Amino acid sequence: MSPRITFGLRRQRLGWVLAALLGRSGRVRIARVEELGGAPRRGFAELEWKVMEPGSPEELRYVVFLGFVAGEPGWRIAEARVLR
């Protein structure tokens, strides 16, 4: 399953979602995407997000889980969880 086709999200949009969640920007890598099925159809994406801590040379790594629900006109984010 292609995350770009199925969920219609591009890296720039993922970065915007993460920046909105935590107020920071960084690098995003899509680690896993799955469609789970059900009614309504559901799916999830697991993202790895790396950001620099202000004032620190160390990079922080977050794992972000986004839950999606299919609807009209397409998929929408139903939940988001951030782990550090």
The model's confidence at residue 6, banded by pLDDT at 50, 70 and 90, is very low
3-83: CATH topology: Nuclear Transport Factor 2; Chain: A, (3.10.450)
* Alpha-carbon Rg for the chain in angstroms: 14
* Whether pLDDT at 72 is above 70: yes
Compare 2 and 55 and report the one with higher pLDDT: 55
| Domains of the chain by residue range | 3-83
The model's confidence at residue 10, banded by pLDDT at 50, 70 and 90, is low
Closest CA to 29 of 8, 7, 51, 58: 51
